Chains A and B, each alone.
Chain A
Amino acid sequence: MPRESRGSRMLGGKRGVLLSTASTIVFFGLIAFFVLRAPGTPLIRQRFFDWRHMKQAFPSVASGFLLNIKIMLISEVLILALALTLAIIRSLPGPVAFPFRLVAIAYVDLFRGIPLILVLFLIGFGVPALSLPGISSYDVVTYGIVSLVLVYSAYVAEVYRAGIESIHESQAAAARSLGLSRWKALRFVVLPQAIRRVIPPLLNDFIGLQKDTALVSVIGPIEAARQAENYGSQTFNFAGYVVAAFLFVLMTIPLARFVDYLIARDRRRRQAGAIL
């Protein structure tokens, strides 16, 4: 009996591999067939996928991409800090904290509602126009970072808040019962557990952030997308865009797989915990 069931499982496995191979070939074959048959295909190949142009565009696009990475890294650190502050303010109890909670809620509502590109225009063109000494004289990259931080902090604050609220009230009660202050209970007991729980959705938001660094180019910084655009306007060839797209994908895939890994690990841990 066990032999038979094992045999049939293997047959199923073999059949599965055959079927998936066949369906993959047919699926991509059909797409290739229709795409390659499209009347514009030779032109597209020449305009977007010309190897010589891609090589030629690469150095400037790649150097622009370094700016994307820089914007992203600085923004991420600031977002993590500002968003955590917002989430903590929003979870403050008591009537005295009401105005603070109100400000945090209004902030999140506002910046989740305004499209990033509008925030970029408002900050990137509006703040310099104010001619305020001290804050109106930064460079466009700074205004871009500020815009990203303002918008993404609103999202990430909500992720944090969901994490904080997912930690059972009994954990805080246990900490308080030992004499820990509200703040120390939050810092040592609630937040470490909450943050661990929201790392996958946080990283997901950062994948979005990585891509949105390209939008900063609308107020001036010469990053990868802008470099690609420049290359295109000089040579009438769009290979630079493909190069830029490739670089962005290259950067997000490891992060995406890392998120998958974390989620799978959490699931395994929970199952192990359930068995215990």
Chain B
Amino acid sequence: MNREAAAGLANGEAIRLIGVHKSFGKLRVLKGIDLAVAPHEVICLIGASGSGKSTMLRCVNLLEPIDAGRIVVDGEEITSRGVNVNRIRRHIGIVFQAFNLFPHMTVLRNITLAPREVLGAGREQAEADAGELLDRFGLLDKKDEYPDRLSGGQQQRVAIVRALAMNPDIMLLDEVTSALDPELVAEVLNVIRGLAESGMTMVIATHEMGFARDIADRVCFLDAGVILEQGPPRQIFTAPNHERTRQFLQRIIDAGRL
């Protein structure tokens, strides 16, 4: 498939992955991922640890180079040679499981760093915008704190604000509640719910099945590096087609997580 054809396929789509392969040494993590994401769509990736959810998100953000296949974002093939990765990443926010806030910077500086250094925003403008975002997520009183003074839930919300400050078209969330104490999960999920309602295009890798069922337009079940099954949450969670999906959901139910 040539580049024009790839772009044509992705016409009007926010993201399209075509036959994406990725290995780490001998370990084959992604074995041909095909996925199209429409603008404003919320996709939840579910699957066991090691099924390739995180790697897939990191590939879309170009944090991992892919071995084969193509990734098209807003009609542009971002995996072709010579693409400026910094320009692509401005439009794609990613939030990590371990927050990855910059510990030597205040909350405010964490958020304004990229707008100032990448977009060239002035200090006052960047801080005003950051303040607005922090206020929206109930974090304005934390703006001068350092990350280690915040709870996990607060840190993760700051990380989400940090990604949003770049005004991305797409947000990738990589198991953003997995490192949180149970009582802190809800505050982060509520933030994501708000983003979904505002029409943000999102791809969310998650272990929170109840949340996925509520929020997703489409659920994709990853198994051994391929999307084994996808569909509306009601179908995936109540009438999965594949035996592997059924087994996975059964384990989740047995663990009391659904």
The residues of A with any CB-CB pair to B shorter than 8 Å are 170-171, 173-181, 184, 188-189, 192-193, 196, 272-273, 276
Contact = CB atoms under 8 A, between A and B. Distances in A.
Contacts of A180: 86, 113-114, 117-118
Interface residues of B, number: 25
Interface string B128-158: 0000000000000000000011000000000
A171 B100 contact: yes
Contacts of A170: 96, 98, 100
A201 to B, nearest CB: 18
Given A189-B102, A196-B104, A273-B148, A181 B113 contact: no
B89 A177 contact: yes
A23 B199 CA distance: 76
Given A173-B63, A188-B113, A196-B104, A178 B96 contact: no
B90 interface: yes
7 nearest CB pairs, A to B: A174-B100, A178-B114, A179-B118, A179-B90, A179-B89, A177-B94, A179-B86
B210 interface: no
Given A177-B89, A181-B86, A193 B148 contact: no
Interface of B: 61, 63, 85-87, 89-90, 93-94, 96, 98, 100-104, 113-114, 117-118, 148-149, 162-163, 166
Nearest to A196: B104
A272 B148 CA distance: 9
22 contacts: A170-B100, A174-B101, A175-B102, A176-B85, A177-B61, A177-B93, A177-B94, A178-B93, A178-B166, A179-B87, A180-B86, A180-B113, A180-B118, A184-B118, A188-B102, A189-B102, A192-B104, A193-B102, A193-B104, A272-B148, A276-B148, A276-B149
A56 B89 CA distance: 70
